[in-house]
Homo-oligomer: A and B are copies of this chain.
Amino acid sequence: MSIFNVNPVTVDDYRRLARRKLPRFLFDYLDGGANAEATLAANVNDFDRYRLKQRVMRNVDNIDTSTKLAGFDAAMPVALAPVGMAGMYARRGETQGARAADAQGIPFTCSTLGICSVEEITAATGKPIWFQLYMLRDRDVIQSLLKRAEAAGVTTLLFTVDLPLPGMRLRDYRNGMIGTNLCSKLSKTAQLAYSPRWIMDVGIKGKPHTIGNLSEVVPDPDDLNEYKAFIDSQFDTSVTWEDIAWLRSIWPGKLIIKGVMEVEDAQAAVNAGADGVVVSNHGGRQLDSVASSITKLPAIAQAVGDQCEVYIDSGIRSGIDVVKAVALGAQGVLIGRPWIYAMAGAGEQGVKDLLATFQNEIRTAMALMGVNSLAELTPELLERV
């Protein structure tokens, strides 16, 4: 980047800012993916396989990017994805994300493993948010979490199914974030020493760094080793579709299954009573070498699109990617890393600006494709290369 590039615009611009500000292990935890990061790369690159069609001389004076996402009146087909420990990337990060989402008129999703509790987040905007859940071995914790979410006004539950156990994100081992040997400890100290601004702003003033929704259960989430130990012990590898049916029976709101990559599983989700599915490989953080989510979207939208809402995440980096996803059958998209990069790099305003850029990109692409509404974005307006 030239020294003359003074205003961040794209996700990648914010990524660069975030890299400069964050301690290395936090940046790596955010930025990295599982194993060789093949899926991480494919998620982004495979959007290039689709080309938009340019159509001209159609009256495009009434472009409307708004839509309904699981009942939410959204200004555009985008929601902020659940990101664990967002509050480590900016002071009380989840509240910043929620305020930015609210300002731009899109849903915010609270992670099971966020720093701020669901109550702290909804208090920040006074608006309903979405809530993401992992299945824990202790079902009482689940029940009480859902009660709290309902009480806080959550209408939509994203249940994440692609994390029976944590993926192998090798950067975390390599940089010493996971690991308790001497090298790991020294490295972590050095990495912190390189980020004085973060230490003051987030490390000290952003406390407490407990996991808000589970503060009684997980002791000290500053330490990724504890965090991982908790997941290893509490995350339930024996969950099946029957547990979804149980969830369905106790949760009154919308239920969306996040982490589906095969038609068969999407169908099973519908059969278990889901209102929607998110085609997702967890941003390439779980099974490495699985296909990109965009290449999996069309078949799933085709198969269950008339029975439930189909969402997608993993690799969306611009409004043009959003247009492609919608044209391939998605009701909307979730973005994960993009909003964290923007928040870590430029705060709440950064998230707002990035979302505004997304919306501009959607609007401009629609104009040049000759459509006024999202409903007109059909597969015929794409080409595969």
Contact = CB atoms under 8 A, between A and B. Distances in A.
A291 B369 CA distance: 12
- Please report whether the interface of chain A is mostly helix, strand, loop or mixed according to DSSP: loop
Contact of A262 (B54, B186, B365): B54
B6 A183 contact: yes
Interface stretch (A197-205, A206-214, A237-245): A237-245
A176 interface: yes
Interface string A18-38: 000000110000000001101
Contact of A244 (B57, B168, B318): B57
How many copies altogether? Answer: 4
Contact of A320 (B36, B50, B360): B36
B58 A7 contact: no
Contacts of A310: none
Interface stretch (A159-167, A219-227, A337-345): A159-167
A255 interface: no
A126 B290 CA distance: 41
B367 A190 contact: no
Contacts of A385: 291
Interface stretch (A110-118, A147-155, A281-289, A328-336): A281-289
B237 A268 contact: no
A145 interface: no
Contacts of A355: none
Contacts of A24: 2, 4
A179 B51 contact: no
A10 interface: yes
A54 B283 CA distance: 13
A361 B168 contact: yes
B58 A360 contact: no
A320 B38 CA distance: 11
26 contacts: A2-B24, A4-B190, A4-B191, A6-B175, A6-B183, A7-B173, A7-B183, A9-B170, A52-B289, A54-B259, A54-B261, A54-B281, A54-B286, A55-B262, A56-B161, A56-B261, A57-B161, A57-B241, A57-B243, A57-B268, A59-B240, A60-B238, A61-B237, A167-B368, A168-B364, A287-B365
